Amino acid sequence: MSIKVHYFGVFNRAEPMRMMLKHAGVEFEDVKFGMEQWGDLKANYPGGVVPCLEIDGVMYRESLAQARYVGTRCGFYPRDDFNAQYKCDCIVEMVNDVLPKIYGPIFAPDNHDIPKVFSEILPAFMKRVTPLIEACKKSGKWIIGSDKITMADFYLGIIYANFFANPNVGYEAEKFAEVLAANPLFKEYGEKFVS
């Protein structure tokens, strides 16, 4: 099976797939390109959007569907436990909701309220995830309460990898460092997802 992940040369929406494939030991081609190339490449992708997951020459779009596909194939998405699927999906969707609010200033700094990222968006996110991480640490289990790492863990991991452990975060690196210093449990959890 030939697998390619097509996306810009940044983490963001393609990173959960990359992390899961790497963690599972699945070989794949990481096709990265710059914003300056996007105009010429856009027509090559279904709907003109990325990330794009290519399997044996067939292109698939929609990042959540792609991640679920990879998660299921690699054993990181619960198959037979609907409660675990629900918990996994809740965390994935929570991260997916907040992700564009955090990375928006990187792509369109004039159209985003950067101070709001640090005064409202990240504090609200940390308030939601801290109890989950506390329970995870106390139980010795992963984020949905399972013995096995799931897609939900990788999604939380991308927030850390994209914005807190990334030396090229794109804006206000010192403010991300301040948020991280105030949230040591998140840092401890996030360190599992950087190498």
Reported as a single tens digit per residue, the pLDDT across 16-44 is 999 999 999 999 999 999 889 999 999 99
Give the percent of the chain with pLDDT over 70.
99
Least confident of 4-8, 78-82, 108-112, 148-152: 108-112
Q: Which two tokens stand for residue 91?
A: 């965390």
Q: What is the pLDDT of residues 103-148, one digit of tens each?
A: 888 777 777 788 899 999 999 999 999 999 999 999 999 999 999 9
> CA angle at residue 134 from 19 to 25, to 5 degrees?
15
Residue 103: what pLDDT? 86
pLDDT at 186 over 70: yes
**Residue 143: partners with Cβ closer than 8 Å, 6 or more residues away:** 91, 132, 133, 136, 150, 152, 153, 156, 189
Distance, CA of 138 to CA of 125 (rounded, Å): 20
Distance, CA of 108 to CA of 58 (rounded, Å): 31
Q: Is the pTM of this model over 0.85?
A: yes
